């Protein structure tokens, strides 16, 4: 007969981790892959499948075709004129293999922009939007960020060129564009390389006195612009603050010192 003093062990649910992670209570505060539990020395099947799904989504984000019409459809109702340009890249596979071609305008676009420059005199800022390595980042975050940012700069007297939409571009393309237009600043918004938990993250890079001699050290970057990272409104406020400081200090990149953190009521 069974011993009545012995207690029957409880059976955990089928989907419970074999070994509960000590950080499990912190998982609700972050999208990072923490406290996933384990089975022996291995991941649980559920964790492995989630990882593979995230990896597939990141790959899909890199391969997704850019739809400039979506960006323009969001910008034009807000009163912003756009102009489409092209780089020396002809197709997506070439863009991924030849970063150098994404850093230069096509011959036709260079000629077009040179002609347009004559009518865009006394402008302080040229804005460039590109898909970069995540088309969905540009499609989702670029317009909301600019719609919040550009009025802040206009209040300070900035005159802005029509927004340039340039598929297959790399960050340094803003140097050629800035030199052709003779603007004080260029600002480039483009999709960042997707992570396993962030396929739609936008990066914003600006350069003071752009030209062919500029390097990455001369650029200031605000990254991770997305609803689950740095929302568009907060990104616009931070960019406006940094751009205004860039004018005062006469530089951008590693030489730029952030004098004061931005707030909703104060940009300088």
Residue 160 in any domain: the answer is: yes
Under the banding of pLDDT at 50, 70 and 90, the label for residue 233 is very high
Residue 181 in any domain: the answer is: yes
Residue 234 in any domain: the answer is: yes
Residue 13 has pLDDT above 60, yes or no: no
User: What is the span of the domain harbouring residue 89?
Assistant: 63-255
The pLDDT of residue 61 is 80
Residue 208 in any domain: the answer is: yes
Q: What is the mean pLDDT of residues 204-233?
A: 97
Q: Which CATH number covers residue 102?
A: 3.40.50.11240
Residue 71 in any domain: the answer is: yes
Residue 53 in any domain: the answer is: no
d(CA 145, CA 231): 8
Under the banding of pLDDT at 50, 70 and 90, the label for residue 261 is low
Report the percent of the chain where pLDDT is more than 70: 89
Residue 3 in any domain: the answer is: no
Q: What is the mean pLDDT of residues 244-253?
A: 97
Burial of residue 116 (number of CB atoms within 10 Å: 0-12, 13-18, 19+)? middle
Lowest mean pLDDT among 7-11, 119-123, 163-167, 227-231: 7-11
pLDDT in tens, 45-55: 888 888 888 88
Q: How many domains does the chain have?
A: 1
Q: What is the mean pLDDT of residues 68-90?
A: 96
Under the banding of pLDDT at 50, 70 and 90, the label for residue 19 is low
Residue 7 has pLDDT above 80, yes or no: no
Residue 159 has pLDDT above 90, yes or no: yes
The pLDDT of residue 268 is 45
Residue 100 in any domain: the answer is: yes
């Amino acid at each position: 007969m069974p011993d009545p003093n012995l207690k029957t062990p409880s059976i955990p649910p089928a989907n419970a981790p074999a070994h509960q992670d000590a950080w499990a209570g912190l998982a609700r505060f972050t999208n990072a892959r923490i406290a996933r539990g384990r089975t022996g020395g291995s991941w649980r099947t559920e964790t492995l499948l989630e990882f593979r799904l995230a990896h597939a989504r990141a790959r899909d984000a890199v391969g997704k075709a850019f739809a400039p019409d979506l960006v323009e459809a969001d910008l034009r109702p807000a009163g912003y004129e756009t102009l489409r340009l092209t780089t020396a890249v002809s197709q997506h596979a070439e863009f991924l293999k030849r970063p150098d071609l994404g850093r230069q305008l096509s011959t036709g676009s260079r000629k077009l922009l040179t002609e347009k420059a004559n009518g865009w005199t006394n402008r302080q800022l040229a804005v460039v939007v590109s898909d970069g390595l995540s088309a969905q980042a540009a499609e989702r975050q670029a317009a909301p960020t600019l719609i919040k940012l550009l009025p802040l700069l206009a209040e300070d007297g900035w005159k802005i060129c029509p927004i340039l939409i340039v598929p297959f571009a790399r960050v340094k393309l803003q140097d050629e564009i800035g030199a052709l237009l003779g603007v004080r600043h260029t600002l480039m918004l483009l999709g960042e390389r997707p992570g396993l938990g962030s396929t739609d993250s936008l990066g914003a890079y600006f350069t003071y006195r752009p030209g062919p001699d500029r390097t990455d050290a001369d650029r200031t970057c605000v990254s991770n612009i997305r609803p689950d990272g740095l929302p568009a409104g907060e990104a616009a406020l931070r960019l406006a603050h940094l751009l205004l400081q860039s004018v005062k200090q006469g530089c951008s990149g590693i030489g730029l010192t952030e004098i004061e953190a931005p707030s909703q009521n104060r940009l300088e």
